[in-house]
Structure 1
Amino acid sequence: MITKQPSHQFERIFSTAHLHAPKNLDTDSISQLSKWQQSKLPLYLEIGAGKGKHALLFAKENPESRLIAVERTSEKFTAFDKQASVDILENLIYIHADAIAFTAHFIAPNTLDGAFILYPNPEPSNKNQRWLNMPFFEFLLSRLKPNAQIVLASNITAYIDEACARLDEVWQLPYQKRVIDKQSARTHFEIKYLARGEHCQELLIKKPEGYRTRFDDFFAKGDM
């Protein structure tokens, strides 16, 4: 099933063998997810959506696009749910789940027009848990359409520098690095960091035409 040679030489391969599908998704959400992935409208995924500030803002500003926002932490998801219940948006689905398990079981290959990873945990004690150091990143790339873009933002310069090195040396992906405007307010973390005067940066990572992964034809069928 996983036969294509990848466009990179990552030393480990992502496995879904012991990764269980999230159990708390209602049937309406699962049905909607399936329909969205078959639609021609642009579809985006946000990993670690927090309290939902960016997700709600993006959905409001991009009515012709659809966003799936995933948050694992119960406290943050509760705050997200409370706000989303006030600002009901038909182009937003928000999911309380682990993003890796959710993506593995519910996102089909070649369906996403983009993904957002905004201010992830830098995992200071375990660098192997950083997104570009994980085999899951290859799987995430397989879910993207050609020319789709991942936006990765952080206030930690060393995190961004390491990500750039991984993109150059391992993933072999083109990207742009830019400083985030001091007036930007996409997430609660971004507001806090910029108010402190911290140096916030983002990487715009592009999946080019012809980029291959070992998961291009893989989908955990039966979960949709």
Structure 2
Amino acid sequence: MPDEEPQHRHILTFNFRQGRNKPRHDEAFARLWPRYGLEWRPEDGRLDFAALFGRTAPVVLEIGSGNGEAAAAMGDADRDRDLLAVEVYPQGIADLMDRAEERGLDNLRIYQGDALPLLWHGIAPEALDEIRVYFPDPWPKKRHHKRRIIQTEHARTMAGLLRPGGLLHCATDIADYAEQMLEVLTAEPALENTAEGYAPRPERRPVTKFERRGVKAGRDIFDLVFRKR
């Protein structure tokens, strides 16, 4: 008999704020979702990346791609790897699809929804070359910290999806979240820190409008880059 699925406690790790689509967002969805969109449900099981991207290549997962500024730039600069971006907000997805079309990207697919079911049910162990979690929802109130995506259980799940030598790269501009990230990831036995504490910002991660806004507000930027043992 197959092993039973582990039971996960599903708590939303994003604060969904539904905005109004602009006409350009609706137009982008109608025109570009068939090209870039991934329709997936937990009952569909694990993804076949070779079928999804039309080739066999290393796969990067970006959780929370926002308006797609970083995802599009990094996908463009790294066309030998495929990028699966996860985002809940349709406006951000539309922006990312527009950016991808402008750059002529064929190595990008987008899943609209909660990343956790995808991590638990949609990706095979050791199937990913890298996982990126850039500026996730900080849930600043202490009573909401349990909703932050970088938690012990989620870090263990992410580590299991990385190939040996694969990277988990997180970034935040919230100091106490950075401390939590460092504590959680350091405690995960399958991961090792590539730096002493926080890492210098890798040149391959572009500075986005969101990040510049944080710096202007006086917040430090923290990068954490851990490697699968």
TM-score by length of 1: 0.72
Determine which of 146, 171, 186 is the counterpart of 2:188: 171
Which residue of structure 2 aligns with residue 10 of structure 1? none
Q: CA deviation at 1:40?
A: 5.0
Q: CA deviation at 1:94?
A: 1.8
Alpha carbons of 1:119 and 1:166: their partners in 2 closer, same or farther (altered >3 Å)? same
Which residue of structure 2 aligns with residue 110 of structure 1? 126
Q: Are 2:83 and 1:64 equivalent residues in the alignment?
A: no
C-alpha separation in 2, matches of 1:139 and 1:197: 33
For the residue of structure 1 that corresponds to 2:138, the secondary structure is coil
Alpha carbons of 1:181 and 1:91: their partners in 2 closer, same or farther (altered >3 Å)? closer
- Tell me if the contact between 1:127 and 1:133 (Cα under 8 Å) persists in the aligned partners: no
Alpha carbons of 1:34 and 1:106: their partners in 2 closer, same or farther (altered >3 Å)? farther
C-alpha separation in 2, matches of 1:31 and 1:190: 32
In the TM superposition, 1:180-195 aligns within 5 A as 180=201, 185-195=206-216
- Tell me if the contact between 1:50 and 1:76 (Cα under 8 Å) persists in the aligned partners: yes
Alpha carbons of 1:152 and 1:201: their partners in 2 closer, same or farther (altered >3 Å)? same
Q: Are 2:220 and 1:207 equivalent residues in the alignment?
A: no
CA RMSD, aligned part only?
Answer: 3.3
C-alpha separation in 1, matches of 2:7 and 2:60: 22
For the residue of structure 2 that corresponds to 1:120, the secondary structure is coil
For the residue of structure 2 that corresponds to 1:178, the secondary structure is coil
Which residue of structure 2 aligns with residue 137 of structure 1? 155
C-alpha separation in 1, matches of 2:97 and 2:107: 15
Alpha carbons of 1:98 and 1:193: their partners in 2 closer, same or farther (altered >3 Å)? same
* 171-180 or 87-96, which deviates more: 171-180
**Which structure has the higher relative contact order (CA within 8 Å, separation 6+)?**
1
For the residue of structure 2 that corresponds to 1:63, the secondary structure is coil
**What stretches of structure 2 of length at least 5 have no aligned partner?**
11-36, 41-45
Q: CA deviation at 1:63?
A: 1.4
Alpha carbons of 1:157 and 1:179: their partners in 2 closer, same or farther (altered >3 Å)? farther
Which residue of structure 1 aligns with residue 95 of structure 2? 79
Q: Are 2:8 and 1:15 equivalent residues in the alignment?
A: yes
**What stretches of structure 1 of length at least 5 have no aligned partner?**
4-12, 18-23, 209-224
For the residue of structure 2 that corresponds to 1:58, the secondary structure is helix
Q: Identity over aligned residues, as a percent?
A: 22
Q: CA deviation at 1:181?
A: 8.0
Off by >4 Å, runs of 4+ in structure 1 = 36-40
Number of corresponding residues: 191
Q: CA deviation at 1:165?
A: 1.8
Q: CA deviation at 1:26?
A: 4.2
C-alpha separation in 1, matches of 2:53 and 2:95: 27
* 57-66 or 135-144, which deviates more: 135-144
